């Protein structure tokens, strides 16, 4: 039982990362109308951006949830870098294209490779770590529930929750959010209603990439940083988006939560005797994705926006 609780706790951390990635992917899918294969590498880009920034700000004193203030500053820098790069990519690569959503999909693979080539060429392929000391599990949780959760895990979950809540407020309580939802729902109708959809699309790239970058930073913090982390997790993020229903931000959150949990629950399979090790965790996610595509292509929340 404690074992399952432990998996669920791990799942919550991993879900937080997947949710941050899947929101942006879902936004691009609904507003720009293509499967953006560069999204994973946008996550990596943000993680490296924060890594560089952390070299500058890392010394700033004070800690929140066991992480230095400088880390959160670096996180913001990483998010900003990813947003700027994504907007530039949109303006110089995607926007001038006269092609359909399949052409955009193929182009996005080219973009992903260019991002990764730059990162790999600059930083090499070695594993990197944010220079933050790891602490042991929180004693209270370990004693009462027999679950090992570090302060860092809690920081990831709380930060993700704050970002998701902020996005929720943006979408529901601001004019900009209403415009975004209208554009996602029906771009043509939004345009004839007087919404400057060009600008909304730019905002969408900013929001989606910034959240992706945050996901990338937390992924690097949770495990480690190398140029492939984003591309490797991209398929899991796609699984979350498809499970949630493409184009639905709230669906993407729900899908991210479920896929993240299932990903971390994979060890249960070998616990009950199936010869499926943890290396197959992404495979489990893909199989679920394919099953969803077959049974309910709209996803579990495909009708909500």
213/49 Cα distance (integer angstroms): 9
Question: Which one of 97, 142, 165, 166 is in contact with other proteins (CB under 8 A)?
Answer: 97
Instruction: Retrieve residue 181's tokens.
Output: 């939802």
Q: What is the nearest approach in angstroms of other proteins to the Cβ of residue 136?
A: 30
Partners of 67 in the β-ladder: 64
Nearer to other proteins among residue 141 and residue 268 (C-beta): 268
280 DSSP assignment: G
Closest CA to 35 of 218, 303, 262, 289: 289
Question: Which one of 4, 55, 59, 110 is in contact with other proteins (CB under 8 A)?
Answer: 110
Asked if 282 touches other proteins (CB under 8 A), the answer is: yes
Burial of 89 (0-12, 13-18, 19+ CB in 10 A): buried
CB under 8 A: which stretch of 139-147, 153-161, 264-272, 293-301 binds other proteins? 293-301
Q: What is the nearest approach in angstroms of other proteins to the Cβ of residue 187?
A: 18
Asked if 111 touches other proteins (CB under 8 A), the answer is: yes
Question: Which one of 238, 240, 252, 260 is in contact with other proteins (CB under 8 A)?
Answer: 238
Q: What is the nearest approach in angstroms of other proteins to the Cβ of residue 95?
A: 11
Contact residues for 166 (Cβ-Cβ < 8 A; gap 6+): none
Asked if 272 touches other proteins (CB under 8 A), the answer is: no
Closest CA to 17 of 115, 141, 153, 148: 153
Contact 46, 212 (CB under 8 A): yes
Q: Which residue has the tokens 């182009």?
A: 107
Contacts with other proteins by CB under 8 A: the residue count is 42
285/289 Cα distance (integer angstroms): 6
Question: Which one of 231, 252, 253, 262 is in contact with other proteins (CB under 8 A)?
Answer: 231
Asked if 114 touches other proteins (CB under 8 A), the answer is: yes
Question: Which residue ranges make up the site for other proteins (CB under 8 A)?
Answer: 34-35, 93, 96-97, 99, 101-103, 105-107, 109-114, 116-118, 120-121, 124-125, 231, 235, 238-239, 242, 277, 279-280, 282-283, 286-287, 289-290, 293-294, 297
């Amino acid at each position: 039982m404690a074992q399952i609780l432990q998996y669920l706790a791990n799942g919550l951390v991993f879900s937080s990362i997947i949710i941050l990635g899947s929101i942006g992917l879902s936004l691009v899918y609904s507003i720009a109308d293509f499967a953006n294969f560069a999204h994973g590498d946008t996550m990596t880009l943000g993680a490296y951006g924060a890594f560089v920034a952390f070299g500058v700000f890392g010394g700033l004193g004070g800690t929140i949830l066991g992480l230095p203030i400088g880390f959160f500053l670096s996180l913001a820098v990483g998010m900003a870098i990813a947003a700027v790069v994504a907007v530039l990519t949109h303006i110089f690569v995607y926007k001038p294209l006269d092609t359909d959503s399949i052409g955009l999909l193929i182009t996005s693979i080219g973009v992903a490779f260019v991002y990764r080539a730059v990162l790999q060429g600059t930083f090499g392929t070695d594993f990197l770590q944010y220079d933050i000391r790891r602490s042991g599990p929180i004693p209270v949780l370990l004693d009462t529930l027999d679950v090992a959760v570090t302060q860092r895990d809690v920081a990831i979950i709380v930060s993700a929750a704050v970002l998701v809540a902020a996005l929720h407020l943006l979408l529901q309580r601001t004019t900009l959010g209403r415009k975004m939802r209208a554009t996602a729902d029906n771009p043509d109708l939004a345009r004839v209603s007087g919404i400057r959809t060009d600008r909304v699309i730019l905002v969408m790239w900013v929001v989606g990439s910034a959240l992706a970058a945050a996901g990338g930073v937390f992924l690097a913090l949770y495990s480690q940083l190398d140029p492939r982390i984003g591309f490797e997790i991209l398929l899991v993020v796609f699984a979350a988006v498809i499970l949630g229903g493409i184009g639905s931000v709230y669906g993407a959150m729900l899908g991210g939560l479920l896929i993240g949990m299932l990903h971390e629950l994979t060890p249960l399979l070998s616990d009950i005797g199936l010869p499926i090790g943890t290396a197959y965790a992404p495979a489990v996610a893909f199989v679920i994705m394919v099953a969803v595509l077959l049974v309910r292509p709209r996803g579990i929340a495909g009708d909500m926006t």
